[in-house]
Structure 1
Amino acid sequence: MTTEVKSGVAMAVKARIFGSLVASLAAFVPSATQAVQLADGTVHFVGVPRLLQARTTNKDAGDFGATYYFTLSVPDDAGEPLQRVMFEQREGLNRVKFLPQRTRAFADQRRRQPVIPSDVQIDEQGRVSVWFDPPIAPGETLVVGLRPRRNPYTDGVYLFGVTAFPAGEKSQGQFLGFGRLHFYDNFRFHSAW
């Protein structure tokens, strides 16, 4: 075999090895339209949803009738629709208790198109999980309204951790951050007069 032929064969072998290596690596890199799925079947978001805002309709400590709204954005590159959102109080002097049957949701922040949660559950730690069937598609904005029995009695800052779960039987939640709500003791303010 001549030196030129040996060189050509070596280059072809290297090209084949490089091509196989690139193909193998591509199997581990998710595309923009495909969710990350591990060998055990666990599904993850590719593009993680974002918590855009948290607000309350009533900031008076101890008052009834408030709704706590949490606005989330499911990005176009999420890879999977959003099936469940979990809310967990992480800070605040009083434990806020919610009315699951009064939970509301909207699929578009501007048009406020109602979405009916398929299930709302509160576990023994007080975490509220809201499921959607059909799930919220990538590219959508979701507003979830939780109704407390009443606002906390003690004024101050209350933090609610928000975790999003993609669709699938075995899905891994992604913590999105804290919704911060501030309540004020107006009775104390008025009594100073």
Structure 2
Amino acid sequence: MFVKAPWQVDLVSYNTTVGQPLPEYYFTLNLDPEAGASLAGFTFQQIRGADRQFPFLLERTRAFLGRPRREGRPVPVQARFNNDTRTMTLEFPEPIPPGSTVTVSVVPWTNPIQSDTYLFQVVAFPAGADPLGSPVGVGTLRIYENTYW
């Protein structure tokens, strides 16, 4: 159980135009040094956004310590995606210790085909038996129309 659970998620993508192929979405969590438990994994669920049909390439999922464009060492991650509930489950076989910043990159086939503000609810799970998930917050991803036409 977390004593001080992660309380904020940063969601970043550097490719935000409708339909762009193979964008990376970076979900970053900071673990407090006083967290009381390592991070075993987290889920994110799409809770808003016009397009609910963009699938992810699970084999392209990767994780690392640090932030996007400031990557530290890679860490193992396993991913599962339920398209019916629009929920991605990410598990760290080697839990992330307190005081760390971890980023997971997920890659859909393409960005959504409709511009909108897409929201993803994030829940973190501590390492240990019978973990109780802690809501972290909502990541916001804005997808824009192509204005070059």
2:26 paired with 1:69: yes
Which has the greater radius of gyration? 1
Q: Establish whether residue 78 from structure 1 lines up as the match of residue 38 from structure 2.
A: no
In structure 2, the residue matched to 1:190 is 148
Change (3 A) 1:86 1:101: same
Corresponding position of 1:90: 47
Partner of 2:65: 107
Cα pair 1:94 1:153 within 8 Å, conserved: yes
Alignment partner, residue 98 of structure 2:
138
Structure 2: stretches of 5+ with no match in the other structure: none
Deviations 1:112-138, CA, capped at 9 Å, x for gaps: 211121x21113412111110210000
Whether the 8 Å CA contact 2:9–2:136 is kept in 1: the answer is no
TM-score (norm 2): 0.91
Matches within 5 A, 1:113-124: 113-117=73-77, 119-123=78-82, 124=84
Supply the AA of the counterpart residue of 2:107.
Answer: R
The CA distance in 2 between the partners of 1:154 and 1:104, in whole Å, is 26
Q: String of CA shifts for 1:3-41, please: whole Å, max 9, x gaps.
A: xxxxxxxxxxxxxxxxxxxxxxxxxxxxxxxxxxxxxxx
Deviations along 1:154-192, one digit per CA (max 9) or x if unpaired, are 001101111100012311111111110111111xx334x
- Per the alignment, residue 159 of structure 1 pairs with 119
Amino acid at match of 1:122: F
Q: CA RMSD in A?
A: 1.3
Task: Please tell me whether the aligned partners of residues 105 and 145 of structure 1 are also in contact (alpha carbons under 8 angstroms).
Answer: yes
Are the aligned partners of 1:51 and 1:70 in contact in 2 as well (CA < 8 Å)? no
CA contact (8 A) 2:13 2:24 kept: yes
Task: Give the Å deviation of 1:107.
Answer: 1.4
Task: Map 1:47-66; keep pairs closer than 5 Å.
Answer: 47-66=4-23
Count of aligned residue pairs for this structure pair:
145
Q: How does 1:4-43 map to 2 (within 5 A)?
A: none
What whole-Å deviation, never above 9, does each CA across 1:65-111 have from its counterpart, x for those lacking one?
A: 20000111011111110001101101000013211111111113344
Bigger fraction of residues in strand: 2
Which one has more relative contact order, counting CA pairs under 8 Å at least 6 apart? 2
Could you tell me the TM-score, scaled by structure 1's length? Answer: 0.71
The 8 Å contact of residues 97 and 126 in structure 1, kept in 2 or not, is answered as no
SS of match in other structure, 1:101: helix
Whether the aligned pair in 2 keeps the contact of 1:87 and 1:160 (CA below 8 Å) is yes
Superposition deviation, residue 57 in structure 1: 2.1
